[in-house]
Amino acid sequence: MSHHLKFFIDGAWVAPGGTGVIDVVDPATEEVYTQIAAGQAADVDKAVAAARAAFPVFSQWTKADRLALLTRILAEYEARIDDLGAAVSQEMGAPLDFAKASQAGSGAAHIAATIEALERFEFVEQRGKTRVVREPIGVCALITPWNWPLNQITCKVAPAIATGCTMVLKPSEVAPVSGIIFAEIMEAAGVPKGVFNLVNGTGPDVGQVMAGHPDVDMVSFTGSTRAGIIVAKTAADTVKRVAQELGGKSPNIILPDADFEFSVKKGVTNCFGNSGQSCNAPTRMLVPADRHEEALVHAKAAAESLKVGNPLDVETNLGPVVSEIQFDKIQALIEKGIAEGATLVAGGPGRPEGLNRGYYIRPTVFGNVSNDMTIAREEIFGPVIAIMPYRDEEEAVAIANDTVYGLASYVQSKDRDHARRVAGRLRTGNVYINYPEWDTAAPFGGYKQSGNGREYADWGIHDFLEIKGVCGWDE
């Protein structure tokens, strides 16, 4: 039975307090394929009350009990991996194989990484005569985005469970079906009633209510910097903790001694993965000025090698972007890049040839981009890359750091010591040297307007804890 028009509150699927619904659109067809219930303040109140009531008991569970629960959640998650992949593919247009292996697969990886981190995590330490205790922070409001829905849900839910917190989750209303399936997984795993609750709805009607709720102790938010500012201001009235993972405009510095053709082509394909809808995508490629034209040739070849099309086609590399709003925004920024004088190398405005329906974007490469252009400053969140020449390393580092964002940066060099030195000068929460494999144990989060706090493994666990010092523990 479908739970699309219900919420999961206090261990049961319940009807919403109101009658409003939200259409969910398949971005590959532009057609509504289901509806979800639109939550309101009364639904949030009910879910928060359930979480508050469950906290006194759940917060006292032993680490062994919480590990056992997380292990059951992981088993149920893995049993539903095909359903999760299919849901993500339809709700956000991700190619089916990518949706299952990377989108849904990332969630399983995060739960497993949290289990491993929890096994070795120490909640108590002795410092002289004082006992330092790390305790669950309380009721947590978890607000997650549409671009990596399961990645972000599990990044928040798993450490909340690991620490003994209770929670209310609001997935993005743009891509909510995977979140509903996740709630079914939590139910099947035997999560105690009230520990995990799900309420769907819009940011203003549900997310902001959660952020400002007096009985919520912490907000963990992933989304745009604009929305993150609203969440932080709303939460400030009740002085609750706010952890945020926000926007990015990540530089990719290709040093002169890098494997140039490989570095350029890999940088383009990495930027365009998930149709460019990743906050840490390497969207600004910095190349030596005397090799700029060569970089454009390689970038054009990489962009034009990617097949854009139906997410169900096994040959598809890039599906559509998630919505009409995103499509229109990206089209406007591509037009802006042309108007401001950047060199259009590949792609451009409009849909790819042969695709007349669906929110498909042509993989687009701009050259001769200066850091004052709009396409170099604003987060585009689509398959668009800006290639920027630099005169020397000093200028490359200066350009890289000249942004309000600070989520991620990339450095390419055959000399790893050289790359490490450059990495030390970059003001970002993550630096990736020579396109490494994804690491679920690495801290993930940003400097500046890319947010605060860190996620993944034990880094995420810390964000959901309060620290208590019991002085005079020993005489």
pLDDT of 248-288, one tens digit each?
999 999 999 999 999 999 999 999 999 999 999 999 999 99
Q: CB burial class (10 A; 0-12, 13-18, 19+) of residue 438?
A: exposed
Choose between 1 and 142: higher pLDDT: 142
Q: What are the structure tokens assigned to 62, written together? A: 């032993």
Q: What's the token pair of residue 110?
A: 């995060």
pLDDT given at position 72: 98
Distance CA(35)–CA(51), nearest Å, equals 26
Residue 470 scores a pLDDT above 80? yes
254 contacts: CB under 8 Å, gap ≥ 6: 260, 263, 264, 267, 285, 286, 287, 288, 295, 412
What are the tens digits of pLDDT across the range 294-333? 999 999 999 999 999 999 999 999 999 999 999 999 999 9
**What does the pLDDT look like over 176-187, one tens digit per residue?**
999 999 999 999
Which pLDDT score, from 0 to 100, does residue 244 have?
97
Task: Please check whether residue 251 is in contact with residue 450, taking contact to mean a CB–CB distance below 8 angstroms.
Answer: no
Helix/strand/coil percentages in the chain, nearest 5: 40, 20, 35
- Distances 104 to 205, 219, 353, 363, 413 between C-alpha atoms, Å: 28, 24, 30, 24, 32
- Picking from 226, 227, 221, the residue whose alpha carbon sits closest to that of residue 245 is 221
How do 241-245 and 218-222 pair as beta strands?
Answer: parallel
For 208-220, the pLDDT digits (tens) are 999 999 999 999 9
CA 431 to chain centre: 17
pLDDT per position as a tens digit, 24-66: 999 999 999 999 999 999 999 999 999 999 999 999 999 999 9
- When pLDDT is averaged across residues 137-146 and rounded to a whole number, the result is 98
**Contacts for 338 with CB less than 8 Å, ≥ 6 apart:** 344, 348, 349
C-alpha angle 394-396-398 in degrees, rounded to nearest 5: 70
Q: How far apart are CA 413 and CA 431, in angstroms?
A: 13
Residue 383 to residues 81, 148, 320, 347, Cα–Cα distance (Å): 27, 16, 10, 9
Q: Which two tokens stand for residue 402?
A: 């000249």
Hey, which residues does 411 pair with through a beta bridge?
253, 433
Distance CA 85, CA 103 (A): 7
Domain 251-439: CATH class, spelled out: alpha beta
Do 338 and 346 touch, CB atoms closer than 8 A? no
Mean pLDDT estimate for the chain: 98
Query: What is the predicted pLDDT for the residue at 155?
Result: 97
CB 336 within 8 A of CB 375: yes
Alpha carbons 435 and 149: distance in angstroms, whole number: 23
pLDDT of 246: 97
Q: Is the pLDDT of residue 134 over 80?
A: yes
Over residues 138-146, mean pLDDT: 98
CA 152/CA 451 separation, integer angstroms: 15
Confidence (pLDDT) at 136: 98
**Digit-coded pLDDT (tens) for 84-124:** 999 999 999 999 999 999 999 999 999 999 999 999 999 99
Q: Which phi and psi (to 5°) does residue 65 adopt? A: -65, -40
Q: What is the token pair recorded at 48?
A: 């928060």
Catalytic residues: 245, 279
Task: Report d(CA 208, CA 166) in Å as an integer.
Answer: 18
Tell me the pLDDT tens digit for each residue of 334-347.
999 999 999 999 99
Dump strand ranges (E) for 338-461.
343-346, 364-367, 384-390, 405-406, 408-412, 430-433, 447-448, 451-452
Most distant CA pair in the chain, distance: 79
Beta strands in 158-206 (DSSP E): 166-170, 196-198
Q: Are 200 and 176 in contact (CB under 8 A)?
A: yes
Q: How far is CA 215 from CA 137, 159, 195, 240, in A?
A: 12, 20, 14, 10
**Backbone dihedral region of 391: left (phi > 0), alpha (psi from -120 to 50 degrees) or beta?**
alpha
Mean per-residue pLDDT, 70-80: 98
pLDDT digits (tens, 9 = 90+) for 381-415: 999 999 999 999 999 999 999 999 999 999 999 99
CATH number of 7-246+450-470: 3.40.605.10
Measured over the CA atoms of residue 444, residue 446, residue 451 and residue 454, the dihedral's sign is: positive
Question: Which residues make up the CATH 3.40.605.10 domain(s) of the chain?
Answer: 7-246+450-470
- Could you tell me what percent of the chain has a pLDDT over 70? 100
| CATH 3.40.309.10 segments of the chain | 251-439
- pLDDT of residue 227 exceeding 90, the answer is yes
Contact 69, 161 (CB under 8 A): yes
What residues form DSSP beta bridges with 140?
Answer: 167, 218
Q: Return the closest-CA partner of residue 350 out of 339, 359, 340.
A: 359
The encoded tokens of residue 320 equal 């559509």
CA distance 270 to 435: 9
Here the tokens at position 370 are 């200066």
Which pLDDT does position 475 carry in this prediction? 72
- Confidence at residue 1, expressed as pLDDT on a 0 to 100 scale: 66
